[in-house]
Structure 1
């Protein structure tokens, strides 16, 4: 895991350096979001992991995403955001139910 983390950080630093050194390369005005997720476990255990990350970030749980089954926290640095999200059992079940119809609909296109 530490190698993955180090590779991500090195890649972000290299990209930032490249973009700074090459102002002719266009960039998007859309925000950049780095997402992290706890290991699939019980809702309580995943929420506890998000709570730990929120404490490390000094942020709160984003209550706007709770109705959608996402227990998350985030921190932004200008247009760059780091999110850590637990996708709760009800949201995973809802997605699986919708996804189960994926190959059932045929179009004439």
Structure 2
């Protein structure tokens, strides 16, 4: 183990002991329901190598092994404190990355923005602002006598009119 890894390990263990002593000295402070410590062996190694390392450690310490959905784990409990060794396959990481790529695609409205939308009056054009009213009741474009739907229906009827006369003759 390199000096930096040994130093990091010593600092982490020391910090855990300091936390335990601090919580013991201050019994009125709230404590978490439990504590889960996760470790990932050799992140640069292959998935098979990481799984083999976890299996070796689990055998040596009677840890509970689990292999599910690309996560190979060993678990040791000390009451409400748990130690987990985890190896994640490249496929599981790719699935997670794909799922998280949609994270910014959905934006929920805040309550204040939704309230503003509910209380905002509808902007419905009136006949005097938009145009006048068609005989069918719809609003027309400015300068037009009929709405778009009635104009379209009129064009259709004019195109079909010559054929209608021929059908009636037969």
Q: TM-score w.r.t. structure 2 length?
A: 0.56
Native 8 Å contact 1:40 1:46 kept in 2: no
Aligned to 1:43: 47
Aligned to 2:12: 8
Aligned to 2:72: 71
- Larger relative contact order (CA 8 Å, sep ≥ 6): 1
| CA offsets 1:2-54 (integer angstroms, 9 cap, x no match) | 111111111111111111122112212x2100100021432211111211221
Q: Unpaired runs of 5+ in structure 2?
A: 111-170
Aligned with residue 26 of structure 1, among 20, 24, 30: 30
* 1:58 partnered with 2:62: yes
Distance of 1:103 and 1:69 partners within structure 2 = 25
In structure 2, relative to structure 1, the CA distance for the partners of 1:26 and 1:108 (3 Å cut) is closer
Q: CA shift at 1:58, angstroms?
A: 2.3
- Count residues in correspondence: 105
Distance of 1:86 and 1:18 partners within structure 2 = 32
SS of the equivalent of 1:35 reads strand
Moved more, 35-44 or 83-92: 35-44
Native 8 Å contact 1:74 1:82 kept in 2: yes
Native 8 Å contact 1:60 1:73 kept in 2: yes
In structure 2, relative to structure 1, the CA distance for the partners of 1:40 and 1:98 (3 Å cut) is farther
Distance of 1:106 and 1:19 partners within structure 2 = 40
Aligned to 2:102: 101
